[in-house]
Structure 1
């Protein structure tokens, strides 16, 4: 019985630490608007658990930049068969005035 409890505790601890971040930050420095075509893979600047965390990081990077920048937070991203980034949702944030 004791081994079972230790085993379950270990399993819970292990799975609790392996949560995959759901949101990806794409940051485009020195841009007023999203570049076309957007080169998403090269613009990745981090992974976050929530949209709010992703947006906060992007806004912080905008404030620290010496030039305007646009960024996107995207939900559940992956590479497709053509090695292009595809995501379920995209949120674009333009430079703050």
Structure 2
């Protein structure tokens, strides 16, 4: 079963998406949706990445937290620059990193 459906959720999703995009439940569309749902994951199976093994999950959590804080901080700085600029438009500049 795993050989025929390497990604069963992807197969079901492709089947449903095909029918949703065509808005027709004719026998031809059902056959095309089934063929697309079965063949596309089979043909793309060699392209799927191998499963990753997480060795240090705390490092990943710390990285996600740091990136999240940087995004929030930069969004607040941009919002402050736009809202507090008054009649002057905000100045943009390139950042020079030595």
Could you say which structure has the greater relative contact order, defined with CA pairs below 8 angstroms and 6 or more residues apart?
1
Bigger Cα Rg: 2
TM-score normalised by the chain length of structure 1: 0.26
TM-score normalised by the chain length of structure 2: 0.26
Higher fraction of strand: 1
